[in-house]
């Protein structure tokens, strides 16, 4: 990794993976999230930084971000990322940059708020 990219890794993020277990009594799935890695990252908002849409009277705000980290084996698109207590879902990537020097991920924080009918 170049010194330039390493100096831009200024935000600590937590990457979590989903664990699905089956409840033996009811036969339903139980989803829990467990920490996969805690790494330094470069986090940048993608312009326009906020987009909103109205779906079934629910106001949905999207906040996309581009995240760059050092190469991390095992990272996949079904994981989620926590940035300062905000949960983001991975929407694209992870893409490997260089010869396994770094990775780039596109993620977005989803928030919903009920709109008055």
pLDDT confidence of residue 57? 56
- Tally the domains of the chain: 1
Give the Cα separation of 7 and 29 in Å (integer): 42
111, 61 in Cβ contact below 8 A? Answer: yes
Concatenated DSSP letters of 31-74 = EEEEEEEEEEEEEEEPSSS-EEEEETTEEEEEEEEEEEEE--TT
Residue 106 CB-half CA count within 13 A? 7
Give the Cα separation of 102 and 58 in Å (integer): 37
Tens-digit pLDDT string for the chain (117 aa): 455 777 888 899 999 999 999 888 888 888 899 999 999 999 998 866 455 555 555 555 677 899 999 999 999 999 999 999 899 999 987 999 888 899 999 999 866 554 444
Count the neighbouring beta carbons within 10 Å of the beta carbon of residue 88: 21
Average pLDDT of the chain is 82
44, 10 in Cβ contact below 8 A? Answer: no
Count the neighbouring beta carbons within 10 Å of the beta carbon of residue 19: 10
**Predicted structure pTM score:** 0.76
Q: Tell me, what CATH number does 46's domain have? A: 2.40.10.270
Residue range(s) defining the domain that contains residue 104: 3-114
């Amino acid at each position: 990794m170049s010194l330039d990219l390493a100096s831009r890794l200024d935000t600590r993020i937590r990457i979590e993976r989903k664990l699905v277990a089956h409840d033996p009594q009811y036969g339903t799935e139980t989803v829990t999230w467990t920490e996969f890695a805690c790494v330094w990252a470069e986090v940048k908002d993608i312009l326009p930084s906020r987009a909103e849409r109205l779906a079934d009277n629910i106001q949905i705000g999207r906040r996309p971000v581009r995240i760059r980290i050092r190469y991390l084996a095992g990272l996949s698109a079904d994981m989620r990322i926590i940035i300062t207590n905000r949960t983001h879902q991975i929407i694209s990537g992870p893409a490997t940059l260089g010869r396994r020097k770094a990775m780039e991920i596109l993620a977005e924080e989803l928030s919903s708020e009920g709109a008055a009918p």
